[in-house]
Structure 1
Amino acid sequence: MQAAAKLAEAFSRAGTGPSEKDARVEEARRAGTDHEALLNALPIASAVIGRTEDKRLLLVSYNQKFADAVSSSTCTAGIQAEEKACLQTGPIAELLQRFFDGSDNAEELEFRDGEGISARYFRIKLAPLPARRKCDGPRCLLSLVDRTVEVQAERALRAEMLRDSLTGLPNRLAFTDFVEKAGEKSAGELEHAVLVVDMLRFSRINESMGSLAGDELLITFARRLISALRAGDLLARTGGNEFGILVTLRRGIEDALAAAERIQDVMTAPFKLSELEIRVECAIGVAIMQKDQDSEELFRNAQFAVKQAKVAGKPQVYEPKEASAARRRFSIETELRRALDKDQLKLFYQPLIDLQSGEVAGFEALARWHHDDRGEISPSEFIPVAEESGLILTLGRWAMDRAATTLAEWDRKAGETLPVYVGVNLSAIQVARDDIAGIVQSALRTHGLNGDRLTLELTESSIVQDPLRAQRVFEALKALDATVAMDDFGTGYSSLAYLQRLPIDVLKIDRSFVTGMMVDPDSVAIVRAVLSLAEALGMSTTAEGIETVELATTLATLGCASGQGYYFAKPLEPDAALEYWKGRRKA
């Protein structure tokens, strides 16, 4: 009630006692009675204020609403005009003086009466009134608006906007505010950290047990998180199954990792939902607050660490280098999309040599990308990005058509159907999501090629992910007379059952075994085993990574059918590959 009391005092105290009233003040007071009917007709608390020549402020007239508003203070019991003709100094008097002086355009004043939940909020508005006579001083209409209900509604709405309705915790917006305030208080040292906790498998639980069970799990999960926090740490629900924690650091990063460990400890006990007991794991990412760091950036850093934690299986601390690599991958994705649209990639062809005759048996098509600004971008960098983003489907279709186009062009230039094939690599994602057989059939028909001119190279992972689909794809390719090769054999999840059941024609021995043959007896043993297995199953073999004549000779002696590597040739452009074939062809 302080502001109301100040207002009451401002309108209740005379600048001089009743015995010192001058005639002009009394005359102004009597003139104010003419306004009472008009003021009483107004729907808000209002009063007419005048000013004398010596700049004293006068309460000329007022309505009952104004009297009620002012008299609500415990400091006064109403307005007695004959005792309260002048205004004291204070923010209201200063506003009125500036208004009458015309020193600024201030026509409103906001102020609060009291503290806490009992506080009242007012707005004073001023409007000029014409003088009754030339000898009168300036006057204005003062309106007093009680905004208490409005302010309380705004606060309630804001509180609702900053609260998660399910758990009662602060939400993402409130958490950002907390982080910003913590950053303002930080002196630049590692004083705070943000932890992002992601509940794993929540979507599966929600789908299988229903949204009510999912809500119950979220509430229980939040309670356990609270039990793992220290005094001063702050918890918020920042997403569907994501929670943010602002941790105060006293011992640096050790405190953040200790908080992550406590969280994992409280999650070890199973959660009881209905009659079921479910163990829920979580991924935790940690980001340390730096000086003048944006709160949103800090939160994103913690989210990035969560993604790494899901892969690593343990809490991860944000590392700028990892984030830079992620940004580069994203940049490569964007550039790769443009490069595919503008046909800026090329296929190079690495010869596959018949180790017995020395002639070229075929070529492996390898994608190459020369970026105008970045230079050569390695396939080991852009192929994983293509697989992650789904661009591998577009890239795979392009490679298949380009390889078939090159084969047809070689035949045209040679004037005959060349006795060579081209191997095209297929990704596990292509096998799972694309119509591989349809793409191959279209490429063969478009360029007038037989199926045996193409070899489709698949890794073991494409088989393991969905064996039944892989079998259907392999059988469809064999129906087109295409050759099927298992690439990088021995490095993945090899299974004799797959080799026996699937129509595989060629096993490609991974370079990691080939390059170590001359110094590692185990590598020799593995190569011998693969060659024996292929022979038993009626399959051909190709060795990758042949770098020396000794390797080529040894593999030929062991019975390997073909090989490729820099000893023979690096990947070549189409015209150079054709010339290479001609150069090794025996009359």
Structure 2
Amino acid sequence: MQAAVKKQLKPVAINAAGQVATPPDLVQRVTAVIEAVRQGYLDALPIAAAIVTLDSEPYIECANDLFRLIAEWDERLGERAISRVPILNSGPIGARLVTFMNGEEAAHQFETADGRNVAGRHFTVRFARLKTVEGQPSRFLLSLIDKTAQVETEKSLRSEMLRDTLTGLPNRFAFNERVDAVLADPNFREGAYAVLAVDMTRFSRVNECMGALAGDELLITFARRLVSALRPTDMLARTSGDEFGILLRLDRGLSDAMRAAERIKAVLTLPFRLSDLEIRVDCAIGCAILNQGVSSADEVLRNAQFALKRAKRQGVTEVYEPIEAQAVRRRFSLETELRVAIESEALKLAFQPLVALDTGKVAGFEALARWEHDGHQIPPSDFIPVAEESGLIVQLGRWALSTAMQTLADWDARAGRALPLGVSVNLSPIQISRDDVTALVSGALGATGVSGNRLTLEVTESAIIHDPDRVAAVLNAMKRFNVRIAMDDFGTGFTSLASLQKLPIDVLKIDQAFVSDMLANGDSTAIVRAVLSLARALGMETTAEGIDSDDLAEMLTELGCTYGQGYHYAEPLAADQAFAYFMARNA
């Protein structure tokens, strides 16, 4: 065995300096082993990788098959310089690699593409600096992770996310992105763009009568007509059910937006054919101009929708006015403050006298809600609509009824007898539809001991039109308590004579718009005279609102009006003042 080992060992040469002499082929064998290890390492990697050596000209020292496949190049064929590798000599990878090699970073990673317009690939590219061996050139590991499938899937998903599946148009997200891009453009010029909000009329009617499929068909056809009315540079998107948004570039100012609206109206003049029917569909259009005062696409579209809401009422294209958003914010603020005021009983009732015109004595008072907030009075014309819109009118109405009845009971107690006067309380249409008015009135009468014939509930014509059957049921139920019913602002709505005949109305209140103009306008006098004649024929009493002079009071007395109300007699008074007013006038 020793002989075998000796046979394998080769004699070691010693040079003149006493050092071991390196055999001529040892360097080549060691180099080959190192290269084989490097190649094996690269081949074992699941990603495309290559080792780049920094020499007079950077070159690929070795690479794995995945790298050769992606790079469409093979260093084993002789051309190793990175300037010869297609994926490195075009696009950002080669340039960034050179910068990295000349720098001091240990590693660097970024996302990029290979620069091809067609069938391009996407990569996560990573550079890493390898440990330097003394006397050897610097080496770097270049790896490419192919993200093409992931990127394409994300693009596809994003495209679907930004596309309306029914019409094929961009959806609200895509529209907002485009508008935000315009606002963020450093070259953005105020007034250079506008957004139109277009709402289809009668769409819900089509859906109800013909079904969802017909509604979808109408939406698709409607969208195509909108496209035909726009310029190639305009962007059309479906922003909600039957609402569309349009981003317009304004070359000649607001007139461009108005002309676009006219073109849209024009393409809708022809009827839409659905199945065997022809249906005419119009639209309402609101416009908002992009300017420095808006910060996002949502705000611009909301502004256009403010204008759209007004356009629906007016029947013409409307342009957003900043005061509209301020008014909406004010209404929301009022809603919050009003809710707190109702819960904390911060509101008060004021009482305006109702005077019998033939005797001049006070026959009753109308209870009116008053709200003082932060040291100033909030007009009822501001907070009552907010209460109705938010539903707070139910709580407000309950409070007003119970407070008015309790005040009447307190007056009786102060006088030591049941006073010959009543109180009128307004009943909102929303309160009639949402609240149990019968139980509410019954509870208020029972709690105060006041007889029902001293309470008058005032309803408006709009309440009767809104839900005539429910109103009739509620008002007839009131008659079980002998409560009187007054129709407020008569003559300003659309109440039919049939409604007057069917409903248990006791008093017609003539709106002050007719009353205050009687002395100067013969037509107003004729209208009031007609209402008074109608009331007498139906056995009803009448109250004239807005009496502001003695001459007007005398004219109404001569015409046979029962009661008068207005600043000629007194403004709305606090409870104690109203009691004193009654006692003095009726003494």
What is the alpha-carbon distance in structure 1 between the residues aligned to residue 365 and residue 328 of structure 2?
34
TM-score (norm 1): 0.87
1:37-436 matched pairs, under 5 angstroms:
37-51=40-54, 57=58, 59-70=60-71, 72=72, 77-80=73-76, 83-84=79-80, 95=96, 103-104=104-105, 106-130=107-131, 135-136=135-136, 138-183=138-183, 184=185, 188-291=189-292, 293-294=294-295, 295-372=297-374, 375-436=376-437
Amino acid at match of 1:147: K
Aligned residue in 1 for 2:39: 36
Amino acid at match of 1:435: D
Alpha-carbon shift at residue 342 of structure 1 (Å): 2.0
Alpha-carbon shift at residue 193 of structure 1 (Å): 1.4
Alpha-carbon shift at residue 50 of structure 1 (Å): 4.4
Aligned residue in 1 for 2:3: none
Q: Secondary structure at the match of 1:107?
A: strand
Contact 1:33 1:61 in 2 (8 A): no
| C-alpha distance 433-313 of structure 1, shift in aligned 2 (>3 A) | farther
Amino acid at match of 1:442: G
Amino acid at match of 1:582: M
Alpha-carbon shift at residue 572 of structure 1 (Å): 0.8
Establish whether residue 488 from structure 1 lines up as the match of residue 489 from structure 2. yes
Range moving further from structure 2, 35-44 or 287-296: 287-296
Alpha-carbon shift at residue 219 of structure 1 (Å): 0.8
| Cα-to-partner distance string for 1:432-485 (whole Å, 9 max, x where unaligned) | 333222221121112222111210011122222333222222211111110111
Q: Secondary structure at the match of 2:520?
A: coil
Alpha-carbon shift at residue 62 of structure 1 (Å): 2.3
| Cα-to-partner distance string for 1:247-304 (whole Å, 9 max, x where unaligned) | 2223222221111111112112222222222222211111122247433222111111
Contact 1:485 1:506 in 2 (8 A): yes
What is the alpha-carbon distance in structure 2 between the residues aligned to residue 331 and residue 26 of structure 1?
86
Contact 2:82 2:94 in 1 (8 A): no
Contact 1:355 1:560 in 2 (8 A): yes
Contact 1:95 1:109 in 2 (8 A): no
Alpha-carbon shift at residue 48 of structure 1 (Å): 3.0
Aligned residue in 2 for 1:17: none
| Cα-to-partner distance string for 1:31-81 (whole Å, 9 max, x where unaligned) | 3222222321221112234456xx8645443222222222x1xxxx52137
Tell me the matched-pair count: 555
Alpha-carbon shift at residue 96 of structure 1 (Å): 5.2
What is the alpha-carbon distance in structure 2 between the residues aligned to residue 40 and residue 135 of structure 1?
26
| C-alpha distance 24-493 of structure 1, shift in aligned 2 (>3 A) | farther
What is the alpha-carbon distance in structure 2 between the residues aligned to residue 147 and residue 42 of structure 1?
16
Q: Secondary structure at the match of 1:80?
A: helix
Contact 2:364 2:424 in 1 (8 A): yes
Aligned residue in 2 for 1:532: 533
The percentage of aligned residue pairs carrying the same residue is 53
| C-alpha distance 467-147 of structure 1, shift in aligned 2 (>3 A) | closer
| C-alpha distance 86-219 of structure 1, shift in aligned 2 (>3 A) | closer
Contact 2:60 2:75 in 1 (8 A): no
Contact 1:514 1:545 in 2 (8 A): yes
Show structure 1 runs of 5+ residues with no match. 1-22
| Cα-to-partner distance string for 1:354-394 (whole Å, 9 max, x where unaligned) | 22222221100001111116x21111122122222222222
Show structure 2 runs of 5+ residues with no match. 1-25
| C-alpha distance 87-521 of structure 1, shift in aligned 2 (>3 A) | closer
Amino acid at match of 1:369: W
The alignment's C-alpha RMSD in Å is 2.8
What is the alpha-carbon distance in structure 1 between the residues aligned to residue 81 and residue 324 of structure 2?
74
Range moving further from structure 2, 207-216 or 562-571: 207-216
Q: Secondary structure at the match of 1:235?
A: strand
What is the alpha-carbon distance in structure 2 between the residues aligned to residue 33 and residue 336 of structure 1?
83
1:478-557 matched pairs, under 5 angstroms:
478-557=479-558
Alpha-carbon shift at residue 513 of structure 1 (Å): 2.4
Contact 2:464 2:495 in 1 (8 A): no
What is the alpha-carbon distance in structure 2 between the residues aligned to residue 105 and residue 371 of structure 1?
67
TM-score (norm 2): 0.87
Contact 1:95 1:106 in 2 (8 A): no
Q: Secondary structure at the match of 1:61?
A: strand
